[in-house]
Amino acid sequence: MKNSKGKIATLILLVAGATGAFSQNLVINPNMDATQCVSSGFGEIIKTDTWTNANGGTVDLFDRTKSKNCNVVNAIPKNYMGNQAAAGDQNYAGIVAYYDDGANNAVDSQIVATLGLKDGYKKYSEYLQGELKEPLVAGKTYQITFKVSLADKSARAVSGLGVLLTPTKVEQKSNSFLTIEPQFISYRVISDSVNWVTIYAAYIANGGEKFITIGCFKDANFRMEKVVTPLQNDSRKAYYYISGVSVAPYIAKPDLDAIVFGVDYIEVMDLQFVLGSADIAPQFYGELDEVASWMKSHPDMSFFIAGYTDKTGTNAINEPLSHDRAVAVKKYLVSKGVNETNLYTDGFGSEKPIENKIKSRKNRRVEIYLYSISKTN
């Protein structure tokens, strides 16, 4: 995505396997701690005194403290929308990203047609808004991250989750989708209701941005998938938990900066491996399948797969192992129909660790970078 001057302004990375919040986080109250008891069930984000609704929707707040005087429907991990452990020692918010209108079967469709109803619910969406400690500096690069997980009782999963950075508060009166174009948007449907999926982005500031808004930005590329099971009540909602919001100075990756800053769009998935192995754990198949689907829908793009290890072995062991991990992911993607000629692999051994431990599962990983061929030649 480019800004009006044609300068590359966005970079999107989706990461499975959440890491800790970045240092120097500029977000006020990133833990979403409440100043009052979270008791009424819905729309409780306002009890943080720092987070707000960007439109007429009602963002929920889920409290890890589980005070006996507070409503259990807002508890962590078990609450009215399912069961989700906290992403660290933090509360999390909940938003309805998309609400179907109910015309999902023959009977509903007939009622809608007979009564001449409009798709009112399909316009409904909620947005979480936070404030930064200080405005962003023009020309400076920042990294933005937040974690999302689809709630267990969601019946839909959607694409379009993204970030909007603005100098003033967004205060749309209606509860419909925001029409302001965000700086970052993910076009991959996120349907993981077990793990936290981290959306990560690097951003060159225009200057003065003071507020961050997170939600679903529906455009021509929007996709919705029905994920409700036959035995599950159809809530018609795509409901996402949100946690770990961070805006901080960008931490450079010298070996990958040429890729990061030379493209229109990047998406990363972080897969972890057991010690000394290049076998892909089954828990990552679902996420890889989603990435493969995205790749196949963008045949004009090429993809860089980077493998890494922890520091338990020598360079003679780690470098080929990291390459084997990248190749294993490539083979899996090809088996799902991705064009092999669009996939490039390399291994970086134990370079660029996520955490400073000799034995670290987080460092035994593969990252997948998606980038446009026309922008990297």
Convert the pLDDT of each residue in 240-263 to its tens digit.
999 999 999 877 665 556 555 544
- What's the whole-number mean pLDDT along residues 171-198? 87
- Per domain, the residue ranges of the chain are 25-249, 257-376
Spatial distance between the Cα atoms of 147 and 26, rounded to a whole number of angstroms? 16
Write the pLDDT tens digit of every residue in 1-57. 223 222 223 333 333 333 333 458 999 999 999 988 777 678 999 999 999 999 999
Residue 72 has what pLDDT? 80
Assigned CATH for 25-249: 2.60.120.260
Residue 2 has what pLDDT? 28
Residue 265 has what pLDDT? 47
Spatial distance between the Cα atoms of 104 and 235, rounded to a whole number of angstroms? 12
* Cα-to-chain-centroid distance, residue 276: 29
**Structural Rg of the chain based on CA atoms:** 21
Please determine whether the domains at 25-249 and 257-376 fall in the same fold group of CATH. no
Topology of domain 257-376 in CATH is 60s Ribosomal Protein L30; Chain: A; (3.30.1330)
| Among 82, 47, 43, CA closest to 65 | 47
Q: pLDDT class for 114, splitting at 50, 70, 90?
A: low
Confidence check: pLDDT of 314 > 50: yes
List beta partners, residue 225. Answer: 157
Task: List, edge to edge, every strand of the sheet that includes 211-216.
Answer: 52-53, 128-131, 211-216, 161-166, 184-185
Q: pLDDT class for 221, splitting at 50, 70, 90?
A: confident
Confidence check: pLDDT of 342 > 60: yes
Residue 145 has what pLDDT? 86
Q: pLDDT class for 142, splitting at 50, 70, 90?
A: confident
As to burial, measured by CB atoms within 10 angstroms (0-12 exposed, 13-18 middle, 19+ buried), residue 58 is middle
Spatial distance between the Cα atoms of 320 and 91, rounded to a whole number of angstroms? 41
C-alpha dist (Å) from residue 236 to 39, 158, 182, 226: 25, 12, 25, 9
Residue 269 has what pLDDT? 62
Write the pLDDT tens digit of every residue in 284-307. 888 888 888 878 887 877 788 888
Residue 171 has what pLDDT? 95
- What's the whole-number mean pLDDT along residues 184-191? 82
Write the pLDDT tens digit of every residue in 196-219. 887 877 778 899 999 999 999 998
